[in-house]
Structure 1
């Protein structure tokens, strides 16, 4: 057995594996002898079949299988011993093999991961958004609570301030979206006036262009995809199914106790403080996700390195259940290149900063997840023994361990980026954040 490596360049190499008869013959002979002992061929006693017949019937298949075993085992050992950081798997160089010979030579192309560093301190244009709940949002939420706990009064005719239940439809665009609306959602007062005086069963037609103060609301009310909302200009019918007025609930201690527990909140100002705290905690996860997305885009833009593109396209042709054509592999490479680049960048960030997950990290994170889930079901103060028991059961499931490990690592990466990335902090309302999120 002789294995050699020829470096074509920094990213490509060819490994040549030379296999002699001595490398595979003992295994082939052993298997053929087993066939000989058990062979049942008409005209011969069991165990008395000539070896020539056994070789004729099984020899080539056994040879191919055993040579391949020797080849794969020694190729893997060689790659490990050379400490090669490969992209994809070795791709065999296609050539005709004469299986009637005793010695064989195989060649494999290798794609080698590039050497590079990731500079998290480099200049960038990343912004971390601190999303605040502004007065308008807090006042709207208080009124929403008053409506939610208020008294619903059915009405026959639409008047200003009433709530409507109905369905938006447009057959051509496939819109069929049930919705609860109030007339103040519309940007233009003329649109709202179309509904005044209407009754249950009436149909009001409105145009989507400029229907709301933010086109993204078309996603909420009409269930239109984000890519379709901008510039959408079609008529939609709203069929009125219910007309209701709401007698707002009084902002008193009885309502406060119902919302937050007895005596925990005693004024409207404290209600707003609670709403603000809860809202901004929820906004933080959205801000963190955008920050991660923006850091990812920045690192892809600023971290430069070459890839063994030709090799990877050959490898892509071979990895699926069905081989791809060169054209299909080209398209797949174009789709997956940024994902591969970021995997390499992420791996380098982990190595440079020695980021690792310990079992204690995993247990602590799982424990916090369990406590939050229990709180949602009213178990606000579970015992440590109860939590530990659930954690043990969760971590006995390998799929859950993988999912939670990914979440822990994502959190570690986020914290590292917050520490290392010199990002600007920008305070915005939620509405402003949505506009920033979609680049408008």
Structure 2
């Protein structure tokens, strides 16, 4: 039976995702009314440019030049924030809506990564929802999986391909052998990368998403500043070629791990065994692997961006609110002592590529510096031989402390026979 009172929403931000939400609500109106038990109606919209052609009919909705007017409208139940940005108008809108006792649905991972814990507390105090399924991995319901399907599990690890732009670039480099800059330029032409791709290729977008996931999975405060971030600019076709030879593929992964010392949160290029499910995820797709103490390993895969997938996640939150399903944004763990762990304490195997002068004693000098830091080599590859010339040397290590390997590589890089700074990529087994 359909309730008589509709859920009235205001949408602030009418870009790709905002227009996608309007279209989805219109296309599936009857289906959503049946599933939510009441109508979901757009009462007002707001965006920077009123005259832009967005491919959807907005004539039936009240237009607000100031998005804060949506938060102040007493007839609106839910504010949908799709403007983006970690502060500024987006933050002001969410704060005003929550203060006015309105639930908020947002796709804004940067906002949540920087302010999520505080905003979640405000929502809890006001008895309203702060919902953000669309903020991580687009159409993949990873937040619902953590909050609902896996709620009975103690999560030990989350690892995922959280940025489709980087995944497209790395996949294309592997398939074609082309250099990073060349593939990035193509990604920009195809619309997979922004004109300024910094947020994507330097790892910040994935780090925002990881901070949100870690806060939900481990019950820790959302703390973007504690995430170690490294991008993919330095990955070369040579590294990808050697990775294949060693049985790995390179992915930009966001990984959060519960350790005896605390919670690691890190985003960086990672060598993943080619047989792993996540290694098979190519192109602009995202994937998330969750490990729980009772469920074991769960793999979620799908489109991580775009109008349709992201709008699907926004509307899922709206249906939850329409039916009265209200989950706390972030719930801090009852157990104490779960704090962040510095990247210097990370312990794991690594891949190292060196460009060295082909002369006697070079390998011995490299091995000596690793030995001095108690870093053990597992394998070494030196395919080419050019006496007196430059040759690549690749080695993999047994698990070792990040700080120890960093010290060894700093001294190795200073050797006269080493011609370029060492390149290191961490390995996940």
TM-score tier, shorter chain, comes to under 0.3
Structure number with the higher strand fraction is 2
Greater relative contact order (CA < 8 Å, ≥ 6 in sequence)? 1
What TM-score do you get using the length of structure 2 for normalisation? 0.23
What TM-score do you get using the length of structure 1 for normalisation? 0.22
Greater gyration radius: 1
Structure number with the higher helix fraction is 1
